[in-house]
Amino acid sequence: QSALTQPRSVSGSPGQSVTISCTGTSSDVGAYSYVSWYQQNPGKAPKLMIYDVNKRPSGVPDRFSGSKSGNTASLIISGLQAEDEADYYCCSYAGSYVFATGTKVIVL
Amino acid sequence: QVQLVESGGGVVQPGKSLRISCAASGFRFNTFAMHWVRQAPGKGLEWVAFISYDGSKKYYADSVKGRFTVSRDHSKSTVYLQMNSLTAEDTAVYYCARDFIAAVVNWFDPWGQGTLVTVSS
């Protein structure tokens, strides 16, 4: 499996919405609903934000949501807050786990 | 609360071995599978290994298969990663993560703070 592709960075002002794309192939992202998203603050451990494309673990704010269309999964952050500035990684499972390259979310 | 504390990282020469540990607390260790995930400096995440709750199933990334071995000790609530024949490409922060149980495929949460392994002569 090849690494999934994400934009290097996305930015938005507080209160706006940002969308992070995660592009794979018809063999991974496109084939299954097995995509998760992780938030990582500098020097910290990652945290699970979304799993199974669009499910939120307990405690994750509902401004975080996920979706998928074809070979691309997306993480949407609505009502952007300063504390959302972090790196975000998507992960797909298709017999093995593969992570994407990561996206830095910048809050302007 | 759930705590995962990695230890044992350090500087090791190419070709040598190192064992890192992850001590778990705050949950019933013997009922959860565990994972190791690594992150090279300034790079993204890479899944490394999985061990089932009872240690009977172990899976590895192709990049470490045959060189790394995952194990667990329930008496110590600890999971280990034995790393042999290390190369510079193995330099990374190694995180352990508890299995997050979903409907079909499980994920990783929570994570420990990581331990840095540097392979250098």
Residues on chain B bordering chain A, Cβ-to-Cβ distance under 8 angstroms: 37, 44-47, 59, 61-62, 95, 100, 102-105, 107-114
- A36/B113 CB distance under 8 A: no
CB of B100 within 8 A of CB of A48? yes
Give the pLDDT score at A1: 63
Q: What is the mean pLDDT of residues B61-65?
A: 96
Chain A interface, best mutation among B107, B108, B111, by max A CB count within 10 A: B107
Instruction: Report, as an integer, the average pLDDT of B53-80.
Output: 97
Contacts of A91 in chain B (CB under 8 A): 45, 47, 107-108
Segment B46-50 shows an average pLDDT of 97
Please list every residue in chain B whose beta carbon sits closer than 8 Å to the beta carbon of residue A38.
Answer: 45, 108
Chain A residue numbers touching B104 (CB-CB < 8 A): 34, 52
How large is the average pLDDT for residues A56-77?
96
Angle at B56 between CA B22 and CA A96, to 5 degrees: 75
B12-39 pLDDT per residue, tens: 999 999 999 999 999 999 999 999 999 9
| pLDDT in the model for residue B33 | 95
Provide the pLDDT for residue A75: 98
> What digits encode the pLDDT tens for the residues B67-103?
999 999 999 999 999 999 999 999 999 999 999 988 7
Taking contacts as CB-CB distances below 8 angstroms, the residues of chain A near B115 are: none
Q: Which residues from chain A sit within 8 angstroms of residue B37, using beta carbons?
A: 46
Identify the pLDDT of residue B42. Answer: 92
Between the CA of residue B112 and those of A47, A93, B66, what are the distances in Å? 10, 22, 25
Is the model's pLDDT at A2 over the cut of 80? no
Residue A97's pLDDT band, with cuts at 50, 70 and 90, is: very high
Whether A99 sits inside 8 A of B102 (CB atoms) is: no
What is the b/e burial string over A25-44, where b = at least 16 CB atoms within 10 angstroms of the residue's CB? eeebbbebebbbbbbbeeee
CB B47 within 8 A of CB A96: yes
- Say yes or no for a CB contact (<8 Å) between B107 and A51: yes
Q: Provide the 3-class DSSP secondary structure of residue B85.
A: coil
Q: CB of A28 within 8 A of CB of A1?
A: yes
